[in-house]
Structure 1
Amino acid sequence: MRITFTETLLLKLFLLCFICNSIAQTPNSTDKQDYLLDKVKPNVIGINIKHAWNNNIYGQGIKVAVVSHNWNLNHKDLSSPRLVRLSPIVSKTINSTKKINHDTTTLKMLFGQNDFDFTGAVHKVDSVYCSTTEREITFSGLSSLITRLDLAISKAINKLDKGDVLILEEQTLDPSGKLAPIDYNIIVWDLIKKATDSGIIVVATAGNGSENLDAPEFEEYRNRGDNGIILVGSGTRKGRYRTSTSNYGSPIHLQAWGDNSAFSLGYGETYANGDNATQFSKTSFATPIVASAVIALQSYAKEVHGIILPPKQIRNILIETGTKSNATEHIGPLPNVKRAFEKLDELKTSSPFTIEFLDHDGTMLKSLTATYGESILPPNPPIRSGYQFFKWSKTTDWISKNTSVIAQYVPAGTNYKVTFVDRDNNILKEEIINHGTSATAPIPPKQQGASVFSGWNKLFFNITSDLQVTALYDIAETTYTITFKDFNGTLLKEDLVGKGNIVTAPVAPLRTGYKFTGWDINLSNIVSNLTVTAQYESLLSIPNSEKDILKIYPNPVKNKINIEVNEVTQILNYQILNLSGKIIKSGTTEKIIEVSSLTEGIYILKILFDNKVISKKFIRLN
Structure 2
Amino acid sequence: MLQFRIQLALCWLLGAVSLSTTRALSTPSSRTVAPGNSIIPGSSIAVKIDRAAAVSSRSLGDIKSVEQLIRNAQKDSRLSKREVEFTVHPLITTVSPKRITQLVERATVLNPDYVPTDFSTWYQVLFPEPESEDNQTLHDLLATLSGYQEVASCHPLGGGILPAVDPSNDPLFPSQGYMTPAGEGINALYAWGFPGGDGANTTIIDIERGWKLDHEDLVDANITLLAGLNVKDRYQSNYRHGTAVLGAMLMVDNNIGGVGIIPGAQGHVVGVTRVVGGGPFENYPEAILDAVDALGFGDAILLEIQVPDANGNMFPVEIIDAVFDAISLATSLGITVIEPAGNGQQDLDAPILCIGSATPASILNPSSPEFRDSGAIMVGAATSTIPRTRVLESNYGARIDVHAWGENILTASVAGSADDIDTYLPFDGTSGAAPIIAGAALSVQGMISANRGTKLDALALRDLIKIDGTPTSNPSVDKLGVQPDLRALIDGGHLL
Tell me the TM-score normalized by structure 1: 0.47
1:73/1:296 CA distance change after superposition, 3 Å: same
- The one-letter code of the counterpart of 2:242 is D
Contact 2:209 2:229 in 1 (8 A): no
Contact 1:230 1:254 in 2 (8 A): yes
Between the aligned partners of 1:294 and 1:215, the Cα distance in structure 2 is 28
* Residue 216 of structure 1: how far off its partner (Å): 2.8
Higher radius of gyration, 1 or 2: 1
Structure 2 residue corresponding to 1:33, chosen from 176, 195, 201: 176
1:156/1:96 CA distance change after superposition, 3 Å: farther
Tell me the alpha carbon deviations over residues 519-555 of structure 1, each in whole angstroms, 9 at most, x when there is no partner.
xxxxxxxxxxxxxxxxxxxxxxxxxxxxxxxxxxxxx
Match of 2:483 in 1: 334
* Residue 55 of structure 1: how far off its partner (Å): 1.5
Contact 1:255 1:332 in 2 (8 A): yes
Match of 2:391 in 1: 243
* Residue 264 of structure 1: how far off its partner (Å): 2.0
Match of 2:411 in 1: 264
* Count of residue pairs brought into register by the alignment: 308
Does the residue aligned with 1:97 lie in a helix, a strand or coil?
A: coil
Matches within 5 A, 1:401-412: none
Match of 1:51 in 2: 190
1:273/1:129 CA distance change after superposition, 3 Å: same
* Residue 309 of structure 1: how far off its partner (Å): 1.3
Match of 1:297 in 2: 444
1:55/1:137 CA distance change after superposition, 3 Å: same
Between the aligned partners of 1:74 and 1:146, the Cα distance in structure 2 is 25
Match of 2:115 in 1: none
Does the residue aligned with 1:321 lie in a helix, a strand or coil?
A: coil
1:155/1:137 CA distance change after superposition, 3 Å: closer
- The one-letter code of the counterpart of 2:404 is A
1:285/1:267 CA distance change after superposition, 3 Å: farther
Which is bigger in relative contact order (C-alpha 8 A, separation at least 6)? Answer: 2
* Residue 240 of structure 1: how far off its partner (Å): 2.5
- The one-letter code of the counterpart of 1:186 is D
Does the residue aligned with 2:403 lie in a helix, a strand or coil?
A: strand
Match of 1:187 in 2: 322
Between the aligned partners of 2:350 and 2:274, the Cα distance in structure 1 is 34
Match of 2:455 in 1: 308
Does the residue aligned with 2:460 lie in a helix, a strand or coil?
A: helix
Does the residue aligned with 2:363 lie in a helix, a strand or coil?
A: helix
Alignment partner of 1:151 is 2:291 = no
Contact 2:317 2:323 in 1 (8 A): yes
Alignment partner of 1:63 is 2:203 = yes
Matches within 5 A, 1:43-192: 45-56=184-195, 57-80=197-220, 82-90=222-230, 92=232, 94=233, 96-113=235-252, 114-125=254-265, 127-135=266-274, 146-192=281-327
Does the residue aligned with 2:362 lie in a helix, a strand or coil?
A: helix
* Residue 89 of structure 1: how far off its partner (Å): 3.8
Between the aligned partners of 2:443 and 2:495, the Cα distance in structure 1 is 17
Between the aligned partners of 2:186 and 2:418, the Cα distance in structure 1 is 28
1:220/1:47 CA distance change after superposition, 3 Å: closer
* Residue 271 of structure 1: how far off its partner (Å): 9.8
Structure 2 residue corresponding to 1:204, chosen from 339, 360, 365: 339
More strand by percentage: 1
1:55/1:286 CA distance change after superposition, 3 Å: same
Between the aligned partners of 2:321 and 2:376, the Cα distance in structure 1 is 14
Contact 2:363 2:372 in 1 (8 A): no
In structure 1, stretches of 5+ residues that fail to align are 1-28, 349-622
Does the residue aligned with 1:151 lie in a helix, a strand or coil?
A: helix
Contact 2:203 2:267 in 1 (8 A): yes
Alignment partner of 1:285 is 2:432 = yes
* Residue 228 of structure 1: how far off its partner (Å): 1.3
Between the aligned partners of 1:336 and 1:134, the Cα distance in structure 2 is 35
Matches within 5 A, 1:299-448: 299-327=446-474, 328-343=477-492, 345-346=493-494, 348=496
* Residue 311 of structure 1: how far off its partner (Å): 1.6
Between the aligned partners of 2:417 and 2:374, the Cα distance in structure 1 is 41
1:95/1:281 CA distance change after superposition, 3 Å: same
Between the aligned partners of 1:186 and 1:234, the Cα distance in structure 2 is 25
% same residue: 27
Tell me the TM-score normalized by structure 2: 0.58
Contact 1:30 1:119 in 2 (8 A): no
Contact 1:129 1:156 in 2 (8 A): no
1:33/1:271 CA distance change after superposition, 3 Å: farther
Between the aligned partners of 1:31 and 1:103, the Cα distance in structure 2 is 21
1:73/1:326 CA distance change after superposition, 3 Å: same
* Residue 87 of structure 1: how far off its partner (Å): 3.0
Does the residue aligned with 1:172 lie in a helix, a strand or coil?
A: strand
Contact 2:173 2:426 in 1 (8 A): no
Between the aligned partners of 1:265 and 1:91, the Cα distance in structure 2 is 18
- The one-letter code of the counterpart of 1:119 is V
1:347/1:209 CA distance change after superposition, 3 Å: same
1:173/1:230 CA distance change after superposition, 3 Å: same
Tell me the alpha carbon deviations over residues 50-103 of structure 1, each in whole angstroms, 9 at most, x when there is no partner.
0111124211111111101111112122224731102354454x4542221111
More helix by percentage: 2
- The one-letter code of the counterpart of 2:363 is E
Between the aligned partners of 2:373 and 2:271, the Cα distance in structure 1 is 26
* Residue 122 of structure 1: how far off its partner (Å): 0.4
- The one-letter code of the counterpart of 1:34 is G
Between the aligned partners of 1:221 and 1:35, the Cα distance in structure 2 is 28
In structure 2, stretches of 5+ residues that fail to align are 1-171, 353-360
Between the aligned partners of 1:285 and 1:167, the Cα distance in structure 2 is 12
- The one-letter code of the counterpart of 2:438 is A
Tell me the alpha carbon deviations over residues 225-251 of structure 1, each in whole angstroms, 9 at most, x when there is no partner.
322110000111122311111111011
Between the aligned partners of 1:310 and 1:221, the Cα distance in structure 2 is 22
Does the residue aligned with 2:397 lie in a helix, a strand or coil?
A: coil
Between the aligned partners of 1:74 and 1:346, the Cα distance in structure 2 is 37
Tell me the alpha carbon deviations over residues 588-615 of structure 1, each in whole angstroms, 9 at most, x when there is no partner.
xxxxxxxxxxxxxxxxxxxxxxxxxxxx
* Residue 346 of structure 1: how far off its partner (Å): 4.5
Between the aligned partners of 1:210 and 1:146, the Cα distance in structure 2 is 28
* Residue 347 of structure 1: how far off its partner (Å): 7.1
- The one-letter code of the counterpart of 2:344 is G
* Residue 190 of structure 1: how far off its partner (Å): 1.4
Match of 2:32 in 1: none
